């Protein structure tokens, strides 16, 4: 007997779908694509990236150049994908403003002094 063989009585039992009742008052969930789901998750997440102190000198919310960094000192406009290094270099060369790196501003770290041990000692003679 194969998997496709079954009694006609069993088939008749599953064939009639009129016995199934649907709750018309229940809310129907719309089908959401993976892309829409990922976008909504990104919108709900808090911003976790560190913001450089160089952004104090740039505005990217201007109506004339939306999303593009504009220098607050000289009004120079940069591209949307301009990196923070380029902005820091502009501040340094054009306005003599030096922005320190985040790593160099951490002063509460201490240096541990470990005793040096030769992991491959010479054999005793």
**Higher pLDDT pick, 63 / 41:** 63
pLDDT at 69: 93
The DSSP-derived string for 38-104 is HHHHHHHSPP-SPPPGGGGGEEEE-SSSEEEEEETTT--B--TT--HHHHHHHHHHHH------TGG
* Residue range 60-117, pLDDT digits in tens: 889 999 999 999 999 999 999 999 999 999 999 999 999 887 665 556 667 788 888 8
Of the ranges 9-13, 44-48, 76-80, the best mean pLDDT one: 76-80
Residue 58 pLDDT level (bands cut at 50, 70, 90): very high
Domain residue extents for the chain: 50-97
% of the chain with per-residue pLDDT over 90: 32
């Amino acid at each position: 007997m194969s998997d496709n063989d079954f009694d006609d009585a069993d088939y008749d039992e599953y064939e009639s779908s009129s016995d199934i009742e649907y709750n018309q008052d229940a809310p129907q969930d719309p089908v959401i694509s993976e892309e829409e789901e990922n976008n909504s998750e990104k919108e709900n997440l808090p911003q976790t990236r560190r913001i450089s102190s160089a952004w104090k000198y740039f505005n990217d919310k201007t109506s004339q150049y939306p999303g593009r960094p504009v220098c607050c000192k000289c009004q120079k406009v940069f591209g949307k994908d301009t990196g923070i290094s380029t902005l820091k270099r502009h501040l340094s060369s054009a306005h003599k403003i030096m922005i320190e790196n985040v790593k160099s501003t951490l002063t509460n770290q201490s240096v541990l002094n470990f005793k040096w041990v030769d992991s491959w000692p010479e054999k005793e003679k």
